[in-house]
Amino acid sequence: MPPAETPIALPIPLLPLGFRVGGIHAGLKRNPSRQDLSLFVSERPATAAGVYTTNLVQAAPVAFDHDPAESLPGIVVNSGNANACTGDRGAADACEMAAVAAAALGVFERSMLVLSTGIIGEFLPMHTLREGIPTAARSLGREREQVVAAARGMMTTDTRPKLAGESLTVNRREITIAGFAKGAAMVGPRMATMLGVLLTDAALAVDDAQRILAAAADTTFNCVSVDGHTSTNDTVLMLANAAAGGGPLAGDELERFGLAVERICSLLAREIADDGEGATHVIRIEVDGCRNREEARRIARTVADSPLVKTAVHGADPNWGRIVSAAGYAGVSFDPLGLRLELNGTRLYASGGPLPFDAAEVSRSIRDHRETLIRLSFAEGAAGICFFSSDLTAEYVHLNADYHT
Amino acid sequence: MPPAETPIALPIPLLPLGFRVGGIHAGLKRNPSRQDLSLFVSERPATAAGVYTTNLVQAAPVAFDHDPAESLPGIVVNSGNANACTGDRGAADACEMAAVAAAALGVFERSMLVLSTGIIGEFLPMHTLREGIPTAARSLGREREQVVAAARGMMTTDTRPKLAGESLTVNRREITIAGFAKGAAMVGPRMATMLGVLLTDAALAVDDAQRILAAAADTTFNCVSVDGHTSTNDTVLMLANAAAGGGPLAGDELERFGLAVERICSLLAREIADDGEGATHVIRIEVDGCRNREEARRIARTVADSPLVKTAVHGADPNWGRIVSAAGYAGVSFDPLGLRLELNGTRLYASGGPLPFDAAEVSRSIRDHRETLIRLSFAEGAAGICFFSSDLTAEYVHLNADYHT
């Protein structure tokens, strides 16, 4: 039984020119009020880029989507079933899902990408998809309700759709980017993560699209962990259809566009942590003073994934020894005497020993804010990272002890 | 508030010749019925060996105990305070703790080893220890109740003392080994783990003692995880005082002795998982068909630490996709098509796809047994490992959201 819905956290973005989207209830989820099938479609050829899970056990759609061809007009997404660990039959099902969508939209069969999310190890209900996909194709549009429905069709135990967007003027043309994501659990990305879809009407060369998406995912989606469990299905796709006009972005324009993509991914990544299963706090972990970003990320992820840190935040408990000790087993070498720790702005630890602080006040600060800020400063170098996590609650346990049945 | 006590799981071991032990309530824990200070003392010179946490942030007693000198007659242990992240003052406190114990026992100051476990980042209440240690020294003895009291004095949120032992005849002499351990949480060993004390009246050369202890810890305590959080205080110490008579063990005798130490450590390690905080199941993870033991351990630990696997076991849910996907992100390369999975003896997954099985029956089997068996077979080589974990429950969250305050 998925948790109750919560309000959408961010403004609903404008849809870039030349795209239509939609989401319907096809029947993969039991509750008929919950969308489980979405389409993201470009009316014109689009450049596609993708980043994928590094899990060795990869779902059928991940294999299907690798190395997308140019000029792909769309993405078909189902929730409620991950089509993972389903062998040859799963691969054939992913292929047929794309074919059915292509037929419904009147495009070439290899022009659709496929995303699936939900339970692992069960075969897709193909009869449901064969009926549902043409219905979803008829629901496509550009209205706010269709944008929200498309985001809802990706959700599993997410309590709200995750949407973010931005418009910017580049070379006197208005360019729009819209982002969609789902998270909730089995979120512990390594390289790629969860499901994400970015649509833009900018014109992008294929290599630039891939580079920008990979760089943005690296500092945003790859810096989120709900439970440290890297999914079999993690994928982020970007479609750029050039409908805003103008030639492919280059130089400073491309740079500015890349920063906008990173901002949108960052908002969506934070949303994933904030809406982590059962979460009552989003935890922002800022690590600096490291030799390189990978070491900073490794320390941040180790702190983020410690059940002891996560439960301490849930209990509004400034039990900072759990944070310092998690940093110590991250597998990164550092001088413990150079480590300083702040929790919600209060300095707790430096030079190898505790600093006096008002525990009741720090506890109140954790309790009173949805976001908890952990700042770890090292004396090794100049690299840093910002990582998002969620707290660990009894609700997470209840949700996951009872998801399958 | 620590959880209620449960009955001791294993037979109370005999104490080896030439040792006296004891445990008292000195006042580090609030509840006067709970022991918080233990002594393990040899009446004659003993060979000492130790394995220690690999956490970079090491508690004061870990630094103090490194490279123990020969002829150390004893170990002083407190619970309720880890003396970790306490800087120079913590180092001085560990030193004084040893000195007070040495004075109370009338031995040389550098002849005591120190173990501490409990909250991180608070200074030891030295007045309590200065009073308590002489009292503990007066409580020493060889009776069952003193053996149990010594084990209790190491406990934090453990619900029962962890004891195991064995006697064996080696070269016509009766040799006895007794083991004591504590676990409960912040248990995610890398190399060394948690607190453990092994006493034996065998005669051992220093190098042999160290080698046997390190080998036994590697396949037992280093194959346990409750929450993946490697402690700042993990230490296992062994004292061998030769009171059984005879020269130092060698050859086959030494081999047999080493196997006995490993059996005792294995029982204690399983006890730690079984008594993991809030646990309702102990999870035995058998991994085979790997290229080497380190890869098998890495896969086992990744499965063991996945909150999704741990909650599925808690919910008696045969959601095997979580197990297969955890293996997939362990960072070990393998052929996914060569992976086979069994859960409580039922085959669920092979050749990249699901096998038909009776989900209700597997669920009932998980619900009806305290131990859940996960067996992962790979097609990479001949190495394997057995790893113990515990399930993740709402009780773990409650205990850890509220431990500090």
pLDDT score of A396 more than 60: yes
Q: Looking at the partner chain, which of B317, B396, B401 has a beta carbon nearest the beta carbon of A404?
A: B317
Chain A to chain B Cβ contacts (< 8 Å):
235
Q: Which residue of B has its CA nearest to A232?
A: B325
Q: How is residue A12 annotated by DSSP?
A: P
Q: Which of A232, A121, A55, A93 is nearest to B352 (CA)?
A: A121
What's the gap in Å between the CA of B90 and the closest CA on chain A? 8
Q: What is the pLDDT of residues A201-218, one digit of tens each?
A: 888 888 898 888 888 888
Q: What is the pLDDT of residues A384-394, one digit of tens each?
A: 988 889 999 98
Q: Which residues contact A263 (CB under 8 A, 6 or more apart)?
A: A166
Residues A263 and A373 in one domain: no
Output the pLDDT for position B193. Answer: 42
Residues A52 and A140 in one domain: yes
Q: What is the pLDDT of residues B304-320, one digit of tens each?
A: 988 889 999 999 999 88
Output the pLDDT for position B191. Answer: 34
Q: In total, how many domains does chain B have?
A: 2
Q: Is residue A11 part of a domain?
A: no
Q: Which residue of A has its CA nearest to B122?
A: A354
Q: Which residue of B has its CA nearest to A405?
A: B317
Active site residue A193: yes
Query: pLDDT exceeding 90 applies to what percent of chain A?
Result: 40
Q: Which residue of B has its CA nearest to A188?
A: B329
Q: Is residue B11 part of a domain?
A: no
Of A371-380, B68-77, B78-87, B160-169, where does mean pLDDT reach its minimum?
B68-77
pLDDT score of B261 more than 70: yes
pLDDT band at B405 (very low <50, low <70, confident <90, very high): very low
Q: Is residue B5 part of a domain?
A: no
Examine the fold and report which residue of B274, B297, B322 is the final residue of a domain before the chain moves on: B274
Output the pLDDT for position A98. Answer: 92
- Contact: A396, B400; criterion CB under 8 Å: no
User: At residue B281, what is the residue type?
Assistant: H
Which active-site residues of B does the annotation give?
193
pLDDT score of B18 more than 80: yes
What CATH number is attached to the domain comprising B328? Answer: 3.10.20.340
Greater confidence (B65 vs A264) lies with A264
Mean pLDDT value across residues B202-211:
88
ipTM (interface pTM): 0.73
Q: Is residue B171 part of a domain?
A: yes
What's the gap in Å between the CA of A305 and the closest CA on chain B? 9
Mean pLDDT value across residues B364-369:
94
Q: What is the 3-state secondary structure (H, E, C) of chain B?
A: CCCCCCCCCCCCCCCCCCEEEEEECCCCCCCCCCCCEEEEEECCCCEEEEEECCCCCCCHHHHHHCCCCCCCCEEEEEEEECCCCCHHHHHHHHHHHHHHHHHHHCCCHHHEEEEEEEECCCCCCHHHHHHHHHHHHHCCECCHHHHHHHHHCCCCCCCCCEEEEEEEEECCEEEEEEEEEECCCCCCCECECCEEEEEECCCCCHHHHHHHHHHHHHHCHHHEECCCCCCCCCEEEEEECCCCCCCCCCHHHHHHHHHHHHHHHHHHHHHHHHCCCCCCCEEEEEEEEECCHHHHHHHHHHHHHCHHHHHHHHCCCCCCHHHHHHHHCCCCCCCHHHCEEEECCEEEEECCEECCCCHHHHHHHHHHCCEEEEEEECCCCCEEEEEEEECCCHHHHHHHHCCCC
Residues A189 and A257 in one domain: yes
Q: Is residue B1 part of a domain?
A: no
Quote the CA–CA distance of A292 and A298 in Å, as a whole number. 10
Greater confidence (A405 vs A94) lies with A94
Residues A324 and A265 in one domain: no
The structure's pTM equals 0.76
Residues B353 and B287 in one domain: yes
Output the pLDDT for position B99. Answer: 93
Mean pLDDT value across residues A40-67:
78
CA distances from B322 to A154, A230, A343, B187, B313 (A): 20, 10, 33, 22, 11
Output the pLDDT for position B322. Answer: 86
Mean pLDDT value across residues A176-190:
72
Greater confidence (B390 vs A7) lies with B390
Residues A198 and A254 in one domain: yes
Q: Is residue A9 part of a domain?
A: no
To 5 degrees, how large is the angle CA B76–CA B117–CA B68?
A: 45
Mean pLDDT value across residues A98-113:
88
Output the pLDDT for position B192. Answer: 37
Residues A98 and A32 in one domain: yes
Output the pLDDT for position B121. Answer: 80
Mean pLDDT value across residues A80-90:
87
SS3 category, A321:
helix
Which domain range does residue A357 map to? 282-401
Q: Looking at the partner chain, which of B123, B334, B400 has a beta carbon nearest the beta carbon of A312?
A: B400
Residues A196 and A248 in one domain: yes
What's the gap in Å between the CA of B11 and the closest CA on chain A? 32
- Contact: A88, B329; criterion CB under 8 Å: no
Output the pLDDT for position A405. Answer: 42
- Contact: A89, B353; criterion CB under 8 Å: yes
pLDDT band at B189 (very low <50, low <70, confident <90, very high): very low
What's the gap in Å between the CA of A136 and the closest CA on chain B? 29
Residues B70 and B195 in one domain: yes
pLDDT score of A191 more than 50: no
Mean pLDDT value across residues A371-386:
94
Residues B203 and B299 in one domain: no
Examine the fold and report which residue of B255, B274, B293 is the final residue of a domain before the chain moves on: B274
Residues B75 and B163 in one domain: yes
Helix H or strand E encompassing A212: helix A206-219
Q: Which residues contact A377 (CB under 8 A, 6 or more apart)?
A: A287, A288, A289, A339, A340, A341, A342
Q: Is residue A12 part of a domain?
A: no
pLDDT band at B219 (very low <50, low <70, confident <90, very high): confident
pLDDT band at A404 (very low <50, low <70, confident <90, very high): low
pLDDT score of A110 more than 90: no
Instruction: Find chain B residues with C-beta within 8 A of A312's C-beta.
Output: 400-401, 403-404
Output the pLDDT for position B44. Answer: 85
SS3 category, A286:
strand
Residues A316 and A390 in one domain: yes
Strands A383-390 and A224-225: parallel
pLDDT band at B184 (very low <50, low <70, confident <90, very high): low
- Contact: B354, A393; criterion CB under 8 Å: no
- Contact: B229, A393; criterion CB under 8 Å: no
What CATH number is attached to the domain comprising A268? Answer: 3.60.70.12
Instruction: Find chain B residues with C-beta within 8 A of A276's C-beta.
Output: none
Q: Is residue A3 part of a domain?
A: no
Sheet holding B37-42, edge to edge: B19-24, B37-42, B74-81, B112-119
pLDDT band at A156 (very low <50, low <70, confident <90, very high): confident
Quote the CA–CA distance of B393 and A397 in Å, as a whole number. 6
Quote the CA–CA distance of A179 and B310 in Å, as a whole number. 33
pLDDT score of B190 more than 50: no
Examine the fold and report which residue of B274, B292, B309 is the final residue of a domain before the chain moves on: B274
Of A271-280, B186-195, B265-274, where does mean pLDDT reach its minimum?
B186-195
